[in-house]
Structure 1
Amino acid sequence: MKTTIIGVMAGAAVLAGGCGTASHQGHEGHELAAESSPSIGTPTSGTASPSGPETAGGLKRAAQAALAAVPGSVLVSIETEASGRLWEVQVVEKDGTEHQLDVEGEKVVNGPATEDADADDKAERRDQVAAAKLDYSQAAERILATVPEGRLTELNLDTERDRTVWEADVLTPDGTKHKVAVDAATGEGVRNDGTTT
């Protein structure tokens, strides 16, 4: 059955992310491209045709919808829920105020809801965002370059050993879940731990 599932998924280009190139403007105004492979959060709902909108760039579409809902914000966390159909997204405004949203496809279905945070929490988020020279899209591309055929299911801006990093969960077709981190300032790989699930 595993061979059949992998064959079907490969044939449908679900894990390859579809065809074509999608571009995105990062928070610093740089144009970024998401190539047809590797896959950034490709949903596996099975309800769309292989060339349909649900087979490529699910993470980026959800991120763009969340960022549009909170103008001037920066994405700091995105995680897939409900088998890839729903994305839980956190964005931060310039003053450090954090908002949570649920996005399905390109539509915000819940939020934005403002997270409760004190002045110290807001300052910490502002510092993380300021230290990150890579936006979420650039970080996703760097991370996926280290995990061939991987599908990004979670991406978070965090601090690790006094360093601001983008941490991610990446799932490969063989069932291996990789925990990958890259330096948010340099893009340098920090960690790549893969375990078979």
Structure 2
Amino acid sequence: MRHWGRPAALSLLAAALVMSGCSEDAAPEQTNTTAPAAETTSPPGMATAEMTTAETTSPVAAPAGKGAPVDAVERALQTAAGAVPNGRPFDLELETEDGRRVFDIEVASDGNEFEVRVNEAGTEVVGQRQAGDPGDDVAKAEAAQVDATRALQTALEREPGATVDEIQIDTERDVIVWQIELVRPDGSEAEIDVDARSGAIAGG
């Protein structure tokens, strides 16, 4: 008769010892206790203010009585002259229109009269229209031997450092003259007439 009981018991004992050793060698499971990063928030309204902030500018009115810089006036005269065929500017004044300053310039062109508006820098035409009935000044401008720019330069020799308030053509004692209205550095005004034929200061 064969005895199977003892070997089976030994096998079961060996298996139990192996399993016990494995459980002792295994590292204990660790639990991740890392806390999630705290969410930072901005005070109410801060982020919106930063995103919607935009640079805004408003037109600033020029001081009363201050004339236009000479270089801007000369550019404006040239720009207006080039806006129409054979253009001869004969009246210039700096005005405020829709919150911006523009040169309002009357220009003679082959017997016709145009009103040309030029930006404050004197570089761009921002408006233009033809007058229905040309005035007497058109004939004076076309008869002049000296243009408005040259007349202005002559006037500035008498009043260096001045700015320009207005330029217009007129007749004084049957002589066509350029009337140049200037603003001195101290704010006082000066009017100088320049002969439109000879280019000399009239009466001076």
Q: Which band: TM-score by shorter chain? A: 0.5 to 0.7
- For residues 53-88 of structure 1, what are the alpha-carbon distances to aligned partners after superposition, in whole Å with 9 as ceiling and x for unaligned? xxx610111112212211211111111223994111
SS in 2 for 1:100: strand
Give the greater-gyration-radius structure (CA): 2
When residues 165 and 141 of structure 1 are mapped into structure 2, their CA distance, relative to the original with a 3 A threshold, is same
Equivalents in 2 of 1:191, 1:175: separation in Å? 24
Alignment of 1:99-114 (within 5 A): 99-104=114-119, 105=121, 106-111=123-128, 113-114=129-130
How many angstroms does 1:99 deviate by?
A: 0.3
The partner residue of 2:107 within 64, 68, 91 is 91
Determine the C-alpha separation between the residues in 2 that align with 1:169 and 1:177: 7
Matched, 1:161 2:173: yes
For residue 82 of structure 2, give the secondary structure of its aligned residue in structure 1: helix
Given residue 150 of structure 1, which amino acid in structure 2 is its aligned partner?
A
Paired residue for 1:139?
Answer: 151
Which residue of 2 is the match for residue 41 of structure 1? 68
**Of 84, 90, 99, which aligns to 1:70?**
84
CA 1:164/1:73 → structure 2, altered by over 3 Å: closer, same or farther?
A: same
Name the structure 1 match of 2:48.
none
Secondary structure in structure 2 of the residue aligned to 1:190: coil
Q: Secondary structure of the residue that 1:91 maps to in structure 2?
A: strand
Check 1:141–1:84 CA distance in 2 against 1; reply closer, same or farther (3 A cut). farther
Structure 2: tracts of 5 or more residues without a match:
1-66
Mark the CA change 1:66 to 1:154 in structure 2 (over 3 Å): closer, same or farther: same
Tell me the number of residue pairs that the alignment of Structure 1 and Structure 2 aligns: 134
Alpha carbon RMSD of aligned pairs, Å?
A: 2.4
CA distance in 1, matches of 2:101, 2:203: 28
Whether the aligned pair in 2 keeps the contact of 1:99 and 1:114 (CA below 8 Å) is yes
Letter in 1 for 2:106: Q
Structure 1, unmatched stretches of 5+, are 1-39, 43-55, 193-197
Cα distance in 1, alignment partners of residues 142 and 80 from structure 2:
20
**Partner of residue 133 from structure 2, selected from 112, 117, 130:** 117
The letter of the residue matching 1:101 is V
Write 1 or 2 for the structure with the bigger share of strand.
1
In structure 2, what is the Cα distance between the partners aligned to 1:172 and 1:161?
27
Mapped contact 1:144–1:152 kept (Cα < 8 A): no
C-alpha distance in 2 between matches for 1:130 and 1:86: 25
Q: Does the Cα contact within 8 Å between 1:139 and 1:184 map onto a contact in 2?
A: yes
Instruction: State how far apart, in whole Å, the 1-side matches of 2:142 and 2:83 are.
Output: 21
Aligned-residue offset at 1:109:
1.1
Q: 1:101 offset after TM fit, Å? A: 1.3
Contact 2:77 2:149 in 1 (8 A): no
